[in-house]
């Protein structure tokens, strides 16, 4: 056996790699992102956005139809507020009948129509590979239209988000796509529906990121953005143009007003925590009832009817209430009663398990709370630059931020639906304050508490994958073991048994000319079925794909997964075609150790404290050395 043909004796680790045309093409195929798949999913997302825009308009028409039938006994799809009805005491029965119908639909068709839609969509994303029953596409809007049309105090956003998500998931189940691509289509349908109703494409994109996708990457954001653009086009084509909530222009707030709005946001953050806890407390109370859950929506509807008899403004969607508060058309006493009664009506109806959305009621309660708190500030500081409609807008957005912890969605939603750019700084301060309070006081949000109780863990951070941040070169261990392919298995075994090699590693196999041939594992060399007189190159099953030391570990994992290998030869990026080592899955796992050190190993690199050390005591004088290295003399009696 010639030792100069073995490890580190004659052939250096940095070995020239000669890639032929086929190998280079294969490598480029592995490394290049699959743009064709992104284009295909994007095309499906645009198709979904188009259909969901039509469905959103149909849902609004259906709600108006049910409202006119229930409260005015007319057949029309034109909007009429249920608050203007003349039913008298009969108004108490109408929501109860609607709740009974929803209960029967849930019992005999699908329980998935219960609730406000967004938690159910999140649960399907996290636990069921984004698969939603196709029947939800028509059952959810139908049940929501019955519930809202008969006076249920809900918004249309939850049902249309659930409907859009179900439609996107259904399309994803028809075509042969991956689970992640189906998740993207679900999010595209949900956000396209929200955009079609409110005309807020940017807020909808943020909603997808913060509540549905749990990621931010080109392959996910491009289809969702295209779906939202399509939904925005549908909104302009099928709905009224202009902002959803019209506000009078106001002057830019001064520093005192900005501070006041931030304090209002902090206060509403506490209110949002209380609101969320009460919602699920009421749900728990219904769970304790000794009657079948089918009857619960009817019982909740009865309470809605009673409250609606005394406060008709609490019936139905009530977006006009938000518009009136943002326009400054409601007195504070009416706002106070609307806030309390709308909250009571909504929390009982939602806790009963009927079908409806949470965003509309949260916005109403938040706007009312913001206006009331703004009024308190004006009483305490009469000359302050507090604008009550702006305080209502701040409260509306802060309530959504605190209850859902969708911070960016809340801010951008308020801006898009009012077109008031002067509100940006007040919204930022208030929503951040509300988010802060919610984060410290509440473990789960109104969107995630229900599924958390079922044992489903929801991501609460959107940090970049550690494998995206670490390169191959950062975890690749120094040194490596290169073996000539001409050596026999017996020779290599003898050499390794003499203590020259490292057990459990992989070896780079090269020719006598230094050309890369493949890799062989320690296990392969010592396999009992291996013929010992064979050359080592005979153990090479195939020439594996390679990766450069400047590539990310994520790219390495993708190549390993596609090639079904657990090691990759690593090439130097600066010296083209030079092998510098072998990357194994153990090296990749070490990246997580680096991440844990970043989070769990606090240390100070610079100290701002003036430090000195005692170096000598001579008579009545004490010598000290300051941090800048100068010796100072000080009398002991003075110190």
Residue bearing tokens 């519930």: 147
For residues 58 and 204, membership in a common domain is answered with yes
| pLDDT score, position 444 | 87
Spatial distance between the Cα atoms of 386 and 401, rounded to a whole number of angstroms: 21
Among 429, 453, 477, give the residue marking a domain's end: 453
State how far the Cα of 501 lies from the Cα of 483, in Å rounded to an integer: 10
Looking at the fold, whether 522 and 577 belong to one and the same domain comes out as yes
pLDDT value at residue 599: 61
What are the residue ranges in the chain where pLDDT is below 50?
1-33, 479, 612-639
Q: What is the CATH number of the domain that holds 511?
A: 3.10.580.10
289 is a domain residue: yes
- What is the spatial distance between Cα 91 and Cα 73, in angstroms, rounded to a whole number? 13
Sign of CA dihedral 37, 41, 46, 47: positive
pLDDT score for 501: 60
Pair 411, 560 in one domain: no
Same domain for 113 and 10, yes or no, is no
In a domain, 432, yes or no: yes
Answer yes or no: do 417 and 559 share one domain.
no
Number of domains in the chain: 4
Is residue 115 one of the residues assigned to a domain?
yes
Q: What is the pLDDT of residue 504?
A: 54
The answer to whether residue 249 is domain-embedded is: no
Q: Which two tokens stand for residue 11?
A: 């052939």
| pTM score of the predicted model | 0.76
Query: Are 15 and 116 in the same domain?
Result: no
Do the domain assignments include residue 245? no
Distance CA 99, CA 108 (A): 14
* Residue among 572, 590, 584 nearest 505 (CA): 584
pLDDT score of 489: 80
Going from the C-alpha of 506 to that of each of 175, 370, 478, 525, 531, the distances in angstroms are 41, 65, 14, 10, 19
Residue linked to tokens 């009012």: 418
Q: Residue 243 falls within a domain, yes or no? A: no
Q: What pLDDT, on a 0 to 100 scale, did the predictor assign at position 446?
A: 87
How high is the pLDDT of residue 477? 67
List the CATH number of the domain containing 312: 1.10.3080.10
Nearest CA to 355 out of 521, 621, 115 is that of 115
Counting Cβ atoms within 10 Å, is residue 349 exposed (0-12), middle (13-18) or buried (19+)?
buried
Do residue 370 and residue 265 come from a single domain?
yes
Residue 417 dihedral angles phi and psi, to the nearest 5°: -85, -10
Instruction: Decide: 49 and 226 in contact? Cβ < 8 Å.
Output: yes
Q: What is the pLDDT of residue 93?
A: 94
> Quick one: 592 and 515 in the same domain?
yes
- The pLDDT score that the predictor gives to residue 528 is 63
One domain, residues 287 and 213: no
pLDDT score recorded for residue 140: 83
Residue 271 and residue 196 share a domain: no
Q: Which domain holds residue 342?
A: 255-453
In a domain, 52, yes or no: yes
Enter the DSSP assignment of 370.
H
505 and 596 together in one domain = yes
Predicted local confidence at residue 243, as pLDDT: 85
Helical ranges in 110-156 per DSSP H: 118-127, 136-149
Asked if residue 461 is part of any domain, the answer here is no
Q: What is the pLDDT of residues 328-365, one digit of tens each?
A: 888 999 999 999 999 999 999 988 988 877 888 999 99
Task: Determine the Cα–Cα distance for residues 368 and 361; give it in Å rounded to an integer.
Answer: 11
Q: Are residues 292 and 361 in the same domain?
A: yes
């Amino acid at each position: 056996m010639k030792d100069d043909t073995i490890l580190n004796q004659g052939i250096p680790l940095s070995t020239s790699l000669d890639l032929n045309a086929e190998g280079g093409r294969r490598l480029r195929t592995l490394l290049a992102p699959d743009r064709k798949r992104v284009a295909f999913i994007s095309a499906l997302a645009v198709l979904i956005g188009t259909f969901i825009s039509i469905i959103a308009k149909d849902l609004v028409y259906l709600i108006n139809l049910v409202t006119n039938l229930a409260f005015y006994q007319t057949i029309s799809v034109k909007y009429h507020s249920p608050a203007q009805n003349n039913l008298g005491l009969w108004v108490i029965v109408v929501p109860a009948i609607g709740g009974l119908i929803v209960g029967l639909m849930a019992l005999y068709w699908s329980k998935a129509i219960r609730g406000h839609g967004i938690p159910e969509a999140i649960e399907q994303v996290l636990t069921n590979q984004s698969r939603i029953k196709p029947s939800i596409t028509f059952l959810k809007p139908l049940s929501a239209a019955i519930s809202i049309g008969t006076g249920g105090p809900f918004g249309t956003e939850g049902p249309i988000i659930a409907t859009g998500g179900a439609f996107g998931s259904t399309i994803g189940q028809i075509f042969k796509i991956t689970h992640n691509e189906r998740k993207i289509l679900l999010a595209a349908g949900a956000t396209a529906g929200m955009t079609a109703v409110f005309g807020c494409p940017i807020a909808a994109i943020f909603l997808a990121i913060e509540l549905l996708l749990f990621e931010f990457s080109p392959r996910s954001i491009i289809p969702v953005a295209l779906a939202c653009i399509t939904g925005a086009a549908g909104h302009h084509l099928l709905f009224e143009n202009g902002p959803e909530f019209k506000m009078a222009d106001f002057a830019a707030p001064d520093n005192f007003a900005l501070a006041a709005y931030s304090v209002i946001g902090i206060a509403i953050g506490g209110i949002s925590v209380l609101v969320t806890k009460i919602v699920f407390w009421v749900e728990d109370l219904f769970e304790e009832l000794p009657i079948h859950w089918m009857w619960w929506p009817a019982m909740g509807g009865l309470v809605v009817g009673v409250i609606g008899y005394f406060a008709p403004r609490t019936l139905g969607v009530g977006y006009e209430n938000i518009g009136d508060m943002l326009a400054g058309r409601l007195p504070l006493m009416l706002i106070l009663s609307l806030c309390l009664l709308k909250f009571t009506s909504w929390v009982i109806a939602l806790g009963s398990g009927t079908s409806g959305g949470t965003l509309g009621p949260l916005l109403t309660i938040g706007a009312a709370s913001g206006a009331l708190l703004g009024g308190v500030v004006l009483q305490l500081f009469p000359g302050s630059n507090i604008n009550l409609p702006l305080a209502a807008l701040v409260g509306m957005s802060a309530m959504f931020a605190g209850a859902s912890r969708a911070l960016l969605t809340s801010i951008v939603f308020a801006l898009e639906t009012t077109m008031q750019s002067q509100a940006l700084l007040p919204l930022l301060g208030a929503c951040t304050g509300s988010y802060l309070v919610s984060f410290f006081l509440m473990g789960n949000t109104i969107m995630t508490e229900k599924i958390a109780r079922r044992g489903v863990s929801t991501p609460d951070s959107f940090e970049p994958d550690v494998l995206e941040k670490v390169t191959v070169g950062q975890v690749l261990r120094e040194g490596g073991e290169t073996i000539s392919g001409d050596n026999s298995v017996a020779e290599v075994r003898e050499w390794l048994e003499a203590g020259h090699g490292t057990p459990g590693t992989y070896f780079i196999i090269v020719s006598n000319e230094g050309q890369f041939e493949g890799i062989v594992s320690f296990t392969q060399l010592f396999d009992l079925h291996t013929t010992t007189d064979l050359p080592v190159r005979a153990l090479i099953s195939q020439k594996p794909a390679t990766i450069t030391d400047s590539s990310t570990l994520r790219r390495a994992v993708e190549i390993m997964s596609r090639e079904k290998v657990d090691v990759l030869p690593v090439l130097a990026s600066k010296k083209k075609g030079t092998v510098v080592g072998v990357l194994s899955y153990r090296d990749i796992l070490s990246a997580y150790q680096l991440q844990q050190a970043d989070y769990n190993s606090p240390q100070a690199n610079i100290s701002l404290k003036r430090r000195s050390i005692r170096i000598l005591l001579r008579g009545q004088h004490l010598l000290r050395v300051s941090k800048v290295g100068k010796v100072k003399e000080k009398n002991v009696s003075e110190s």
